[in-house]
Amino acid sequence: MIIKVKAFSVFTDILGKELVLEISDRENISLSEFIDLLAKKYSGLSKLLETIEYVILVNGERVEEEHLLRDGDEVAILPPASGGL
- Residue 45's DSSP bridge partners are none
Is residue 27 in a domain? yes
For 12, the domain range is 2-78
Give the chain's residues under pLDDT 50: 84
Q: What pLDDT shows up at residue 24?
A: 83
**What distances in angstroms separate CA 64 from CA 14, 30, 33, 38, one per listed residue?**
24, 9, 12, 17
Q: What pLDDT shows up at residue 3?
A: 96
Q: What pLDDT shows up at residue 16?
A: 92
d(Cα 70, Cα 72) in Å, to the nearest integer?
Answer: 6
Is residue 84 in a domain? no
Q: What pLDDT shows up at residue 85?
A: 52
- Residue 61's DSSP bridge partners are 58
d(Cα 35, Cα 81) in Å, to the nearest integer?
Answer: 20
Q: What pLDDT shows up at residue 64?
A: 95
Is residue 83 in a domain? no
d(Cα 3, Cα 70) in Å, to the nearest integer?
Answer: 8
**What CATH number does residue 60 fall under?**
3.10.20.30
Structural domain count, the chain = 1
Is residue 62 in a domain? yes
Q: What pLDDT shows up at residue 66?
A: 96
3-class SS of residue 85: coil
> pTM for this one?
0.88
